[in-house]
Homo-oligomer: A and B are copies of this chain.
Amino acid sequence: MKIIVTGGAGFLGSRVVELLLQRLDAGDPPVPFEEIVSLDLAECPVADRRVRSVVGDVASPELLEEEVTDDVVGIYHLAAVLSGGSEENFDLAMRVNVDGTRALLEAARRTGARPRVVFTSSLAVFGGDPPEVVPEEWAEQPDSTYGALKAVGELLVNEYSRRGYVDGRICRLPTISVRPGRPNSAASSFASGIVREPLNGEAAPCPVPHETRMWLSSPRAAVANLVRALEVEGELIGAWRGMNVPGISVTVGEMLEALERIGGAEARALVHDAPDQAVMDIVCSWPGEFEVQRMLELGFVRDRNVDRLIRQYVEDFAPGAGRPAEEHDDAAPAAREA
Chain A residues near B (Cβ < 8 Å): 90, 127-128, 136-143, 145, 148-149, 151-152, 155-156, 158-159, 162-163, 239-240, 242
Query: Is there an interface contact between A155 and B158, defined as CB atoms closer than 8 Å?
Result: no
The complex places the Cα of A159 from the Cα of B145 at a distance, in Å, of: 7
Query: Is there an interface contact between B148 and A155, defined as CB atoms closer than 8 Å?
Result: yes
Query: Is there an interface contact between B143 and A140, defined as CB atoms closer than 8 Å?
Result: no
**CB-based closest 4 A-B pairs:** A148-B159, A137-B139, A141-B240, A152-B155
Query: Is there an interface contact between A152 and B156, defined as CB atoms closer than 8 Å?
Result: yes
CB-nearest residue of chain B to A242: B141
For A127, what are the chain B residues with a Cβ–Cβ distance below 8 Å?
Answer: 239-240
The complex places the Cα of A1 from the Cα of B3 at a distance, in Å, of: 55
How near does chain B come to A124, taking the closest CB pair, in angstroms? 12
Query: Is there an interface contact between B137 and A141, defined as CB atoms closer than 8 Å?
Result: yes
Choose among B128, B139, B148, B162 the residue that contacts A140 (Cβ–Cβ < 8 A).
B139
30 pairs, A vs B, C-beta closer than 8 Å: A90-B163, A128-B137, A128-B239, A128-B240, A136-B139, A137-B138, A137-B139, A137-B141, A139-B140, A140-B140, A140-B155, A141-B158, A141-B240, A141-B242, A142-B155, A142-B158, A142-B159, A143-B162, A143-B239, A145-B159, A145-B163, A148-B155, A148-B156, A148-B158, A148-B159, A148-B162, A149-B159, A151-B155, A152-B155, A152-B156
How near does chain B come to A300, taking the closest CB pair, in angstroms? 19
For A142, what are the chain B residues with a Cβ–Cβ distance below 8 Å?
Answer: 155, 158-159
CB-nearest residue of chain B to A137: B139
For A149, what are the chain B residues with a Cβ–Cβ distance below 8 Å?
Answer: 155, 159
For A128, what are the chain B residues with a Cβ–Cβ distance below 8 Å?
Answer: 137, 239-240
The complex places the Cα of A162 from the Cα of B87 at a distance, in Å, of: 11
The complex places the Cα of A137 from the Cα of B141 at a distance, in Å, of: 8
CB-nearest residue of chain B to A141: B240
The complex places the Cα of A145 from the Cα of B137 at a distance, in Å, of: 19
For A148, what are the chain B residues with a Cβ–Cβ distance below 8 Å?
Answer: 155-156, 158-159, 162
For A155, what are the chain B residues with a Cβ–Cβ distance below 8 Å?
Answer: 140, 142, 148-149, 151-152, 155
The complex places the Cα of A137 from the Cα of B140 at a distance, in Å, of: 8
The complex places the Cα of A159 from the Cα of B159 at a distance, in Å, of: 21
